[in-house]
Amino acid sequence: MKKEIIVAILFGVAFGGVAAFILLMKNNEFQLTKSKTITPSGKVTNTVKNIVKTPSVLEVSEPVNNTVVATKQIQIKGKAEKGSLLIFQSPSGEVIVNTAKEEFSVNFPLVLGENVILISMHPNSTQSRLQEKEIRIYYIDESL
């Protein structure tokens, strides 16, 4: 091929690239000016009620997790939402309590060794959701 043909092809490709870039930019500008913003025609009033209710949290104050005891029963104390259903579950048994107050106290049976107790709070209100806590209690008989 001759030198002139190669130079003409390079100039043609370069000119075509510049022309395509300019057309794309102009098209973007045209699209931005053509687009319409949608705003409401009338006056907008916000009627959102500011009802802020802090969701209650299931708290277990006694016993502390990983406690070692020498009795066959333990008293579990804590706080939960008033009117909620509390379910205490472990392989040794199950206790179901409906809370009349925020504070609760339940006697729970234990078996020898490790006791994994799952505490579930099913709230009465629709603004709260199911909450669960797990505690481990170790019952070791003193006579052993």
Residue 89 has pLDDT above 80, yes or no: yes
Domain ranges of the chain: 1-38, 59-139
| Helix residue spans in 35-139 (DSSP H) | none
- In this prediction, residues 22-38 reach a mean pLDDT of 76
pLDDT bin (cut points 50, 70, 90) of residue 6 is: confident
H/E element, 29: helix 3-34
Question: Thinking of the domain 59-139, which architecture would CATH place it in?
Answer: Sandwich (2.60)
Q: Does the N-terminal peptide bond of residue 63 adopt cis geometry, omega within 30 degrees of 0?
A: yes
Residue 36 has pLDDT above 80, yes or no: no
Q: Which residues of 79-111 are buried (b: 16+ CB within 10 A; e: fewer)?
A: bbbeebbbebbbeeeebeeebeeeebeeebebe
**pLDDT recorded at residue 14:** 92
